[in-house]
């Protein structure tokens, strides 16, 4: 995706209600737009979270006066699950066990509103994390099936970790294969959109080590990537490279309907 299109999409997205419209406007799969909005939401949360958290006592006071958790979250432009956790913490209620076991919350109104908060939160709720995990597994499954169809032998991340290798790609090929005139020795699957920030993060955290240990590889950003990101000597692909797989549409559309 070229940078101008990306920036237009990015600026057009304010919430999940925009996804279908923006998808149609820019002729992009819904899953691609969803992924961009997810990453925009995470970036915005990082910018404002500490500032919002400093006012957690005021948020609790608002709730006690009758404002709902979802309303307080919207007022502060914070995902509702994070606001629920913030208010629970201000009450002295540990967030993790109660976000997982809402029925154990001591107050009927609190229980109802925490449920509503998580149902409205597409990016930070337990359900959202589950959706992201499933997407990651789906992407790896598509790659594994593709490698098998090509007759390529490989070892998985779990295989390599059993050998004591700490930093491992999703697939290390037993013998290099040629793709676009390059000899590829490893493949990494990422169920996200490859923008500059995400790409640089994974370059430092993973890809540079893979190159040093295993040579030239290929990264698959399933939900697309910016044309300008670079991996010298390596390949970057997305869902379009695997079109024809009967599970690509399933991957692109998974979790977009709440």
Looking at the DSSP bridge assignments, the partners of residue 182 are 179
Angle at 200 between CA 194 and CA 206, to 5 degrees: 95
Q: Which CATH class is domain 127-253?
A: alpha beta
Report the 10 Å Cβ neighbour count for 119. Answer: 14
The pTM assigned to this predicted structure is 0.91
- Residues of the chain above pLDDT 70, percent: 98
164 versus 200: the higher-pLDDT residue is 200
Q: What share of the chain is helix, strand, coil (3-state, %, to 5)?
A: 60, 15, 30
What is the spatial distance between Cα 220 and Cα 194, in angstroms, rounded to a whole number? 9
For 151-169, how does the pLDDT look when each residue is reduced to its tens digit (9 = 90+)? 999 999 888 888 887 789 9
C-alpha–C-alpha distance, residues 145 and 8, integer Å:
35
Residue 98 has pLDDT above 80, yes or no: no
The pLDDT score that the predictor gives to residue 158 is 87
**Please, which pLDDT band fits residue 256 given cuts at 50, 70 and 90?**
confident
DSSP letter, residue 180: T
Average pLDDT for 21-42: 96
CB atoms within 10 A of CB 135: 22
Could you tell me where in the chain the CATH 3.40.1350 domains are found? 127-253
Instruction: Decide if 238 contacts 220 (C-beta within 8 A).
Output: yes
Q: Tell me the mean pLDDT in the region 122-147.
A: 94
Average pLDDT over residues 8-23: 95
């Amino acid at each position: 995706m070229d940078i101008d299109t990306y920036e237009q999409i990015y600026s057009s997205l304010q919430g999940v209600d925009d996804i279908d419209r923006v998808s149609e406007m820019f002729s992009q799969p819904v899953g691609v737009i969803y992924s961009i909005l997810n990453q925009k939401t995470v970036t915005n949360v990082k910018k404002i979270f500490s500032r919002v958290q400093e006012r957690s006592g005021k948020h609790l006071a608002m709730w006690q006066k009758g404002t709902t958790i979802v309303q307080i979250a919207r007022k502060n432009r914070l995902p509702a699950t994070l606001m629920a956790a913030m208010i629970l913490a201000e009450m002295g209620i540990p967030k993790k066990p109660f976000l997982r076991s809402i029925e154990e919350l001591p107050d009927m109104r609190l229980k109802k509103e925490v449920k509503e908060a998580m149902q409205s939160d597409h990016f930070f709720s337990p359900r959202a994390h589950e959706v992201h995990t499933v997407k990651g597994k789906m992407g790896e499954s598509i790659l594994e099936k593709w490698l098998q169809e090509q007759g390529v032998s490989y070892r998985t991340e779990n295989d390599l970790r059993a050998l004591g290798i700490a930093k491992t790609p999703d697939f290390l090929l037993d013998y290099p294969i040629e793709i676009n005139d390059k000899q590829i020795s490893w493949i990494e699957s990422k169920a996200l959109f490859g923008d500059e920030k995400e790409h640089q993060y994974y370059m430092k955290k993973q890809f540079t080590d893979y190159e040093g240990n295993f040579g030239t590889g290929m990264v698959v950003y399933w939900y697309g990537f910016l044309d300008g990101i670079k991996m010298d000597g390596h390949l970057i692909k997305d869902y379009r490279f695997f079109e024809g797989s009967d599970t690509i549409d399933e991957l692109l559309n998974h979790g977009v309907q709440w």
